[in-house]
Amino acid sequence: MKKYSLSMMIVGLMAITAACGGGEDEASGNGNSNNNNNSAAGDNSAEEMPEGYLDIRGSDTMVNLGQAYAEEYMDHNENGDVSVTGGGSGTGVAAMINNEVDIAQSSRPMTEEELSDAEANGAEPHEFIVGQDGLAVAINNDNPVEELTVQQIKDVFTGEITDWSDLGWDDGGEITVYSRQSNSGTYVYFNENIMDGEDFADGAMFMPGSSAIRESVEQEVNAIGYIGIGYIEGIDAVNVALDEDSEYVTPFEESNVDDGSYPIARPLYFYVNGTPEGIMLDYLNWVLKSDEASDIRYDTGFYQIGDDNQAANEETFEELGLDW
């Protein structure tokens, strides 16, 4: 089994207030009058770059990615201030529903009910895919199990399989299951796509973030959990196959997630509040199109947007009357 030693980029939380003393509309991403939307590919001077402040909240899975985007973008545009905080996809979606945020980061799509609730409160969420995440099925370094099918993973997390001896580790003993909490987009994705919506095993431990699961798996030899590949440092993960007749695929090779051959992967979303303009449009263009943002996706343990997802982003631009 291939061990993983990705050095994660740890980025300081940038909670910065707007530089100008004007009202809320002047400080927000949509209220800025400077509508330069093409700086991602240019070498614009600071005077030509759009000014403003963006409040971004949501997914804990995406918080390192989002903070890395924000820091690099603020180097690119010294007139822009970007604050990124976590709390879970549900936190970001709730902030969007309440019209309290410029961008919600989410590791799951908003539901139709959530979109309707947001619009009823005066928010206008527009969906963009800003990367992909491969979910690793994490195990302790002393666990000799190397491969699991999607069905075996489901059986472990639903409690159908409770002992490692059923998976080839005769001395493994009882399995301890770790999961994210229910407000997490990672929880929603894993429960719907791997567990078919079934309940978690009795005794499953529900943790507030990926780092908490990683630490628990590192400390407990019988543990298993699911976390973003970017959080796997210091522990191991199984290779995964769709079924017994399929190839087992490692999550640790970038191309396996980029090309869709790794079975447990999902898009990562920005929900932008309103038709992007000014600082928000500039930031979105930079995240979706720049080489710097592409490098950040890999550096923080995530994967590229993908051709089909980028085509969907382009279509959304066109629907909003924006040049791609």
Per-residue pLDDT of 185-241, as tens digits, reads 999 999 999 999 999 999 999 999 889 999 999 999 999 999 988 888 899 999 999
**The tokens of 293 are what?**
């943002």
DSSP, res 200: P
Contacts of 74 (CB under 8 A, 6+ apart): 14, 80, 81, 82
Region 284-304: mean pLDDT is: 94
Q: What is the pLDDT of residue 229?
A: 86
Three-state secondary structure call for residue 196: coil
The confidence score (pLDDT) of residue 255 equals 84
Q: What band does 25 get if pLDDT is binned at 50, 70 and 90?
A: very low
Give the amino acid at 51: E
Q: Where does residue 54 rank: exposed (0-12), middle (13-18), buried (19+ CB within 10 A)?
A: buried
Q: What is the pLDDT of residues 129-149, one digit of tens each?
A: 999 988 999 999 999 999 999
> Hey, is 160 helix, strand or coil?
coil
Query: Alpha-carbon distance 155 to 282, whole Å?
Result: 45
- Does residue 21 register a pLDDT over 60? no
Mean local confidence (pLDDT), 98-122:
96
The contacts of residue 252 (CB under 8 Å, 6+ apart) are: 2, 4, 229, 237
Using alpha carbons, select from 99, 98, 87, 95 the residue that is nearest to residue 30: 99
**pLDDT reading at 6 higher than 50:** no
Higher pLDDT, residue 25 or 71: 71
Q: What is the structure's pLDDT at 183? A: 87
Average pLDDT, whole number, for the chain?
Answer: 87
pTM: 0.74
- 54-88 residue pLDDT tens: 999 999 989 999 999 999 999 999 999 999 999 99
Inter-residue contact 132 to 265 (CB < 8 Å)? yes
Confidence band for 316, pLDDT divided at 50, 70 and 90: very high
Cβ–Cβ < 8 Å for 35, 279: no
Q: Is the pLDDT of residue 264 over 90?
A: yes
Q: Where are the beta strands (DSSP E) in the chain?
A: 52-58, 80-87, 103-106, 125-139, 147-149, 176-180, 205-207, 223-228, 236-237, 239-241, 265-273
Does the structure show a pLDDT above 60 at 16?
no
Residue 67: its H or E element: helix 63-76
For tokens 């719907």, the residue is 192
Q: Which neighbouring-strand residues pair with 129?
A: 269
Quick one: tokens of 9?
A: 């980029």
Structural domains in the chain, sorted by start: 24-131+270-319 (3.40.190.10), 134-265 (3.40.190.10)
What was the pLDDT predicted at 118? 97
With CA atoms as reference, report the closest residue to 143 among 242, 233, 237.
237
From 253, 216, 249, 254, select the one nearest 235 (Cα to Cα).
216
pLDDT at position 238: 98
Structure confidence at residue 35 as a pLDDT band (50, 70, 90): very low
pLDDT at 260: 80
Instruction: Convert the pLDDT of each residue in 98-109 to its tens digit.
Output: 999 999 999 999
Tokens 């909003």, located at residue: 320
- Beta strand 265-273 with 80-87 is unpaired
Q: What separation in angstroms does the CA of 191 have from each of 63, 135, 161, 250? A: 21, 12, 16, 21
